Chain A
Amino acid sequence: MQLGLYLLRRIATGIPLILGVTFISFLLMVYFGPDMTFELVGKNPTAEQIAQVRIQLGYDQPFLVRYWHYLVELATLDLGRSISTGESVRSLLAETVPVSMALTLPGFVLGNLLGIGLALLAAWFRGGWVDRGIMAFSVIGMSISFLIIIIAFQVFFSSRYGINYFPVRGWDMRSLGSYLYYVTVPTLAIVFVSLGYNTRFYRAVFVEEIGRDHIRTARAFGAGPVAILGKYVLKNSLIPIVTRIMFSIPSIVIAGSLLIESYFGIPGVGKLAYDAVTTGDQPVLKAVVGATALLFVVVLILNDMLYRAVDPRVALK
């Protein structure tokens, strides 16, 4: 009962968030986004033809009417069709979101697991050469542009100047073998880039935890490093870990990875959203913004519930 009430309350408080995000985004789309009229009218249009296309695009309607239509579309999940390709936006999202998830999930999981592992090591050996080595590696990973890493990995793994084993481009999930064939290099690139950020963040959390009194007490009682790090440090640091992971989920599901998708020729939602931004394909953009806002509300709720699960002292009120 208490959980049900809590959920209802959180959903109710999520509605203003969705309204705010969609309103501001739509305002930006309408007044600062690209105008597709001249892309569609052909080379020598008359004023009537331009007016006709503007009507087809809905540009002739007042802003608030358009925003209201947007909310109705979101509520009914009738997201319309892409202006560029004419495809149903719902089917576009249905095709591209799973691809982006399958593309970024392995890198996300590995990046976090390795980041936690390395951060635990660095925190335990704080100030020593292990810590310095891990931090130096992290800084290198954070300093190199993602684009450079992608190109370097493509040259090393996928060209005749390197081992030339993996593909430069393509995507196929019809079997595990083909999935691994296409996902390996993008995953390595994602891990390489995310590892630095993850390691530095988690190290800071663990260092703070290691300095607490109960860890000193455990050490005094003769607990070994594995027990201390696994049983006390990691467990007590779960709140920031959960927060970081949960708030990364919308970017995995919706944002995808634009650069990875572009350079590896992967039909994900990141490239779809980017193309929609640059061309002014409002139906696609509206759907992506709406879905992201919705997902954030869901993540907020799940996040609170996970807090409760990892720390029973947290009350869902």
Chain B
Amino acid sequence: MKPLTTARSLAASLALTLALAGCSKPEPDAGLKVYRHSAAGVPTNIDPLQAATVYSNLVVVNAYDTLYRYKYLERPYTLTPNLAAAMPKVSEDGLVYTIPLKESGRYIDSPAFEGGKGRTVTAHDVVFSLKRHFDPENTSQGKWLWAGRIKGMEAWAEAGADYEATVPGLRALDDFTLRVELTAPFPQFVHTLAMGFAAVVPPEAVAAYGRDLGTRAVGSGPYELLEYSKQQVRFQPNPNFREEPLDLEAEGYDPSAHAAYGLADLDGKAPPFVDRLEIDFIQESSARWASFTSGREIQFSGLPVEQTEAVLASKDPITLKPEYAKRYHMESGPEAGLVFTVFNMDDPDIGYHEDPEREARNRELRCAMRDAFDWEARNQRFYSGLGIVFPGVIPPILEEFDASLSRASVAHNPQQARERLKAAGWNEDNLPVLDYGLVSSVLAREMFESFRGRMVDVGIPREKINGETFATFGDYNRALRTSKLSIMGYGWQLDYPDAENVLQLFYGPNASPGSNASNYDNPEYNRLFRQTKTMQPGPERTEIYRRMNRMLIEDCVGIIGLTRSHVSLWHKDVKGLPDTAILGGFWLRFVDVDAATP
């Protein structure tokens, strides 16, 4: 009996040992240079038609080509040709853009193509890709960029969206020359050609895969998509990608700012430099941080808010504690966007009113609420004190930012708020009940309670600020777009680096269900906006932008604003300067790592 027991014990031990020995990290990438990036959200759909989020855009601009992109290192963001051979030739009236294409653009090999071999990218493909947005069969989130702006496009769609039919304003003059004719000057047009929405998709891929392009990509970008899931995407270099050596000087390299990142080694070499690019989508900050600090997984992470105190030695300037500085590179700066709160001007309780006297009192109420709000406290409590509070809607990252603007509109001034309310005849009894919209989350609830607390401090009763909770962002978005709320907080990421992109948020014709959630409709503001729509960048346009910005402050249309600061950390074996902005996804083609995976 005893020997049998011993034999069983030995067998069990052996099985356990074998199991543990087999429990080892798989290395499908052994011997390859792998860069493992991370992002804090998930790309739900990677068809360029749906490249609306930072995360979808990140995948799209690396799998597909766009005609233009932003320079790697130059700030403010500056356009440079990508698939285009040069910057466009623009007619004197600003209506006709002639864009030459490189003849070296080539799609990845795919069964979608005849013989499985990728072919050359042509101007006809660009025409096809832009037409797709207007095809009534498709749902496009990027159509608004060009709606009513390309001559004949809407008529083409109404006539049945026959891809063989010509759109007068969008033609391929030959295989490598594109001609776009606009209905009115649109100075931001070239910027839109650097967005994921404008990525060039071959008709063969659409025919072969249709809606499956939401999860697969057939493009001519620097990388070929190997695998897509909502957890991770994996790329390998597109073997057909054109030879375009990195010219650091042309990309805006500044040795005093960039020397530490190992970029000089890459100058003159043709990207992409890594054998595998992996992007992990990790919404849970604790998991992202654990993965980043394990040293074996992701090599890039933003600094989670809850780790700020543990990791940073100082916040102004932002520096790392020595133990982190030894292991990681760090870069910080303002994001390309802002967060703010607006009042619904369509709500007669707080906005426009048929009685001019009441309308004036409503303005005082809005201004008082703005005075009561404490941006510095918001910054400290919710953004670790790293945000930049600024007056107006033009954020500091834009050239049109007005540094000389008075900061009175972002100053916490409860005394002035009380005086305003009193002077306008508001008291606890006659103040209206206002609906403040929030998504059901702890953070949103905390922000709401903090907001309401400030209002209570100046004499607005608690019950007059009603928190309207929505289960999901989709529900909140619907309420926002259908003018159901009185007070709405939200964030805006710049689609392109031009103040027009934030000023359009207050343009009357863009009111609900458009992006003007405040439903602000000031005839003078609208006139100026229309005037600038056709103006090329320059001091004159900047001055008008700043005037419009002051009008928003003067009318107390919202409590505006704050730009969050990003703090990016990446491992020392990575050569590159990460850019998390929607405009900056192109940087991944230039990333490199020191050594291959053992």
Q: A85-B215, A169-B291 are in contact. Are A279 and B474 (CB under 8 A)?
A: yes
Residues of chain B from 25 to 59 with CB closer than 8 A to chain A in the complex: 25-26, 28, 42, 44-45, 47, 52
- Verify if A196 is at the interface (C-beta below 8 Å from B): no
Residue of chain A at shortest CB distance from B477: A38
Whole-angstrom distance between the alpha carbons of A279 and B304 in the complex?
25
- Among A41, A56, A180, A275, point to the contact of B230 (Cβ < 8 A): A275
Smallest beta-carbon distance A271→chain B, Å: 7
Q: Which B residues are in CB contact (< 8 Å) with A159?
A: 290, 293-294
Whole-angstrom distance between the alpha carbons of A43 and B197 in the complex?
13
Q: Which B residues are in CB contact (< 8 Å) with A42?
A: 52, 140-144
* B474 contacts A34, C-beta separation under 8 Å: yes
- Verify if A262 is at the interface (C-beta below 8 Å from B): yes
Q: How large is the interface on B (under 10, 10 to 19, 20 to 34, 35 or more residues)?
A: 35 or more
Residue interface mask A206-250, B partner, CB < 8 A = 1 = 000000000000000000000000000000000000000000000
Main secondary structure of the interface of B (DSSP, over half): loop
* Total cross-chain contacts (CB, 8 A): 159
* B514 contacts A44, C-beta separation under 8 Å: yes
- Among A47, A87, A181, point to the contact of B25 (Cβ < 8 A): A181
* B294 contacts A265, C-beta separation under 8 Å: no
* A44 contacts B510, C-beta separation under 8 Å: yes
* A52 contacts B136, C-beta separation under 8 Å: yes
Smallest beta-carbon distance A180→chain B, Å: 4
Residue interface mask B195-220, A partner, CB < 8 A = 1 = 00000000000000011111100000
Residue interface mask A6-42, B partner, CB < 8 A = 1 = 0000000000000000000000000010111111111
* A38 contacts B481, C-beta separation under 8 Å: yes
Smallest beta-carbon distance A313→chain B, Å: 37
- Verify if A177 is at the interface (C-beta below 8 Å from B): yes
Residues of chain B from 107 to 134 with CB closer than 8 A to chain A in the complex: none
Smallest beta-carbon distance A96→chain B, Å: 9
* B19 contacts A180, C-beta separation under 8 Å: yes
* A169 contacts B475, C-beta separation under 8 Å: no
Q: Which of B45, B213, B513, B515 has the most chain A CB atoms closer than 10 A to its own CB?
A: B513
- Verify if A145 is at the interface (C-beta below 8 Å from B): no
* A262 contacts B481, C-beta separation under 8 Å: no
Whole-angstrom distance between the alpha carbons of A239 and B486 in the complex?
58
* B515 contacts A266, C-beta separation under 8 Å: no
Whole-angstrom distance between the alpha carbons of A175 and B28 in the complex?
11
* B282 contacts A265, C-beta separation under 8 Å: yes
- Verify if A172 is at the interface (C-beta below 8 Å from B): yes
Residues of chain A from 117 to 166 with CB closer than 8 A to chain B in the complex: 151, 154-155, 158-161, 164
Residues of chain A from 237 to 280 with CB closer than 8 A to chain B in the complex: 262-267, 271, 275, 278-280
* B474 contacts A86, C-beta separation under 8 Å: no
* B211 contacts A81, C-beta separation under 8 Å: yes
- Among A168, A181, A267, A278, point to the contact of B229 (Cβ < 8 A): A267
Whole-angstrom distance between the alpha carbons of A241 and B211 in the complex?
46
Q: A81-B211, A86-B213, A169-B280 are in contact. Are A160 and B515 (CB under 8 A)?
A: no
Which residues of A line the B interface, CB within 8 A?
32, 34-47, 49-50, 52-53, 56, 81-82, 84-87, 151, 154-155, 158-161, 164, 167-172, 174-178, 180-181, 184, 262-267, 271, 275, 278-280
The 9 closest A-B pairs by CB, nearest first: A86-B214, A34-B474, A86-B211, A178-B26, A180-B23, A177-B22, A44-B514, A168-B291, A42-B144
